[in-house]
Structure 1
Amino acid sequence: MKRLPDLSNLKNLSRLRVLECSKLREIPGLGRLELLIELYLGRCYNLHEIEGFEALKSLKELNLSRYKALKRIPDLSRLTNLRKLIITDCIDLNEITGLDRLESLKDLNMKSCTSLERLPDLSKLEKLEGLNLHDCEKLHEIEGLEALKSLKELNLSSCFLERIPDLSKLTKLRTLDISGGTSLGKLPDLPNGCFVKGGEHASHW
């Protein structure tokens, strides 16, 4: 199937999952699903662009996984109710905009987006509790990381970061994973009770 039927008449649809449709190229009417709260699109390898979901203002969970051809995502800034964002194994994704406006976001997982070179300033994501950037190997800096006061889990494994800022004010941080890649000379300042995973740095702080 290369094209789904027009979804625009499904006004009351709250959840949509489209998985392993390897020939799919288009999802017509997606932007008309104003009551949609969960969108999961996984392993649709020929879906190069996803048009319309930037208008889904009720969306709370967005999951995009294993899109080998996906290079860009529409501006996310209007998804102000989004709580959970999963964009994993999108190996050609090199741009993401509007992420810095998602002030309700609690969980951000972008592991193995190996072409991603930069993120917007994350400092306004004050409700973020989990951040997973495992294997984002071209990402060298994360701006605003030190301002994420609700953060509990931070996974930077297999990243080659040039620096990690002072995290001592992140008093809720319990786990920092820097294994398998980053070659920091020393750890950043951390809050008490934070467990660090990563070779010679593995310890409780």
Structure 2
Amino acid sequence: MDLSGSLNLKEIPDLSKATNLETLNLNGCSSLVELPSSILNLNKLTDLNMAGCTNLEALPTGKLESLIHLNLAGCSRLKIFPDISNKISELIINKTAFEIFPSQLRLENLVELSLEHTMSERLWEGVQV
């Protein structure tokens, strides 16, 4: 599902019935403030692109188990790092300022990590590479 560039998109509808969704592209949805908790039910979601979601303040609590690619570049209002799958291989968190990270963040499958202009002072606390 590609909703990139939807500048006036403020909320995403319930996605719990989109059980086969593998890719969700919200790149540049600058009015989006949060994702619905129904995103946690997307068991086949492997690619989530939220780059440029500059007003994003919250992601649902819970683990996105199947996620492999996550792009949160420019989500500078997002303070709590999401509890992501240990399957994650690509993580892009440029221009972010996370303050809280999961206590057991595991990145054993990480292949690509991009941290340009990251503003977090607690970035590596509790991370196991």
Both proteins in one fold, TM over 0.5: yes
Equivalents in 1 of 2:2, 2:116: separation in Å? 25
Task: Tell me if structure 1 keeps the 8 A contact 2:88–2:110.
Answer: yes
Q: Which residue of 2 aligns with 1:104?
A: 44
Secondary structure, aligned partner of 1:65: coil
How many residue pairs match? The answer is: 126
- Offset at 1:172? 0.7
Change (3 A) 1:84 1:185: closer
TM-score normalised to structure 2 length: 0.87
- Offset at 1:185? 4.3
Amino acid at match of 2:96: C
Q: Which runs of 4+ in 1 moved over 4 A?
A: none
Equivalents in 2 of 1:126, 1:67: separation in Å? 26
Equivalents in 2 of 1:67, 1:185: separation in Å? 32
Per residue, is there more strand in 1 or in 2? 1
Equivalents in 2 of 1:163, 1:155: separation in Å? 17
Report Cα offsets for 1:154-202 as digits up to 9, x if no partner. Answer: 11111110033343x33111222222132324524332xxxxxxxxxxx
Equivalents in 2 of 1:143, 1:67: separation in Å? 23
Q: Which structure 1 segments of 5+ residues have no match?
A: 1-61, 192-205
Which has the higher relative contact order, 1 or 2, with Cα contacts under 8 A spaced 6 or more apart? 2
RMSD: 1.7
Larger Rg: 1
Equivalents in 2 of 1:170, 1:68: separation in Å? 32
Q: Which residue of 2 aligns with 1:120?
A: 60
TM-score normalised to structure 1 length: 0.57
Q: Which structure 2 segments of 5+ residues have no match?
A: none
Percent identity (aligned) = 36
